[in-house]
Amino acid sequence: MSKGAILFLAFSLFLSGCSPRMTVQPASSLPSIEPLYHPDEYFSGIPVEEEVAEIAEKVQKKVEEGAEEKVEEKIEKEEKQVVSHLAAPPMPAEPPKETLSLPDITVANLFLKQKRRLFATLTNIGTAPFSMESGGLSLFVDGRLEKRYALNSLSDYGHLNPQESITLSTPFSLFGRHEVEVRVDTPVEQRELNKENNRLKKILEGLPIGPDIVIRDFDLTEDLELSIILSNNGEADLRKGVTFRIRIYLNDRKISDFEHFIFEDLKAHSGNLYTLSPPYRVSVKGISRVRVSLAPKLRSDDIRMENNILERKFIIFPFQIGAQGREQFSFFVSSPLLRGEESSEKIKMELRWEGSSAPLKFSFGGSEDGRPLLDISGMSPLKVEWPIPAGETQRESHWRVSVTNPIENRVEGHLIIQHPR
């Protein structure tokens, strides 16, 4: 063998001894890889060994990551299967419970009427009727038991149906400011949805005991001048010597403002009437609107101030009726609004005449409602009062009045009509 051949063989063995040996065992078959290098790259000075190691490491990492993802997916799937086997089967839905049908009485409100009388509103918020025969009402004032009432003694109701309310009027009157509690007592065997709401407590203030001065009425003198009639609706007498301030308005214009000294006692419970006249005479003619108000100097001399005003409308017709003559008059009256209670408003009619001692015949009637005419006869003055029907809306009604002179002499006088505005 020549010397050159020997050197080439030795160099070849040297290269094969220096080449790195690397073994990779992937979890699955490796993808095809491009040749790592070409022979001429080695001679160009690039570190082939380091590049091959880096590429092999990347390939191994990708293989391992792929294997790990497959393992994790398999573990997660197996865990789900185990959980699905271990989970308890769903419970069957419970059948709906039967709703109890029971009453539930509650005290919804407490209030005073006429400034003293106690009223209580009961409501059944349950699902069954509540028997009023077996219940009772206990009344406490400032924590002290005052009265007990049977419910059937306060109402004619036999049962209070579900979602129904009733307002009970008690005989109890409250004087002054107090804490009032009302409880509905039911027997032990009387079942309710809730017995904790059978009571209500409120602070209420009733009028104290004292005089209650009211402008009772207006009157006209023979000369058609205004006079004012007072009375005392309170529980205590009004002593003599009390001073009141009085204002008079005629057709919404104040025409008199003065102080009046009471010259006599006004007995309680309207025991007597007291008439006063303004210091400057107030004449009423034709159609006039009159309003009078009064106020005491001391608050204790009149416990209720809201009834210290009276308003009236006057219609005055002069007439001259010959022998056996007849004259007819007509006018309109506004009906008061319906307020849940029977209306106490009245129309007042008065006939006054001179020149004869013989009686006149007076006839009157309502308008469209078909009320029959009322015929009366009498001597002067002849007075008639008639209630005015209330309505849901305030409207004017037409009234007719006729005066007949049955005698042979001429008669002169006035027809005076007075009614609320």
Give tens-digit pLDDT for 32-66.
Answer: 444 444 444 444 444 444 544 554 565 456 545 55
CATH 2.60.40 given to domain 209-307: yes
- 105-206 has which fold? Immunoglobulin-like (2.60.40)
Q: How confident is the model at residue 30 (pLDDT cuts 50, 70, 90)?
A: very low
Backbone angles phi, psi at 345, to 5 degrees: -70, 140
Question: Is the CB of residue 257 less than 8 Å from the CB of residue 244?
Answer: no
Matching residue, tokens 């309170």: 234
At residue 414, the pLDDT reads 94
Domain pair 105-206 / 209-307, same fold: yes
At 100-117, the pLDDT tens digits run: 788 888 999 999 987 789
**String of DSSP letters for 78-146:** HHHHHHHHHSPPPPPPPPPPPPP----EEEEEEEEETTTEEEEEEEE-SSS-EESSS-EEEEEETTEEE
pTM value is: 0.60
Model confidence at 230: pLDDT above 80 = yes
Q: Please give the pLDDT value at position 352.
A: 93
Question: pLDDT value at position 204?
Answer: 92
Domain boundaries, the chain: 105-206, 209-307, 313-421
Q: Which CATH architecture has domain 313-421?
A: Sandwich (2.60)
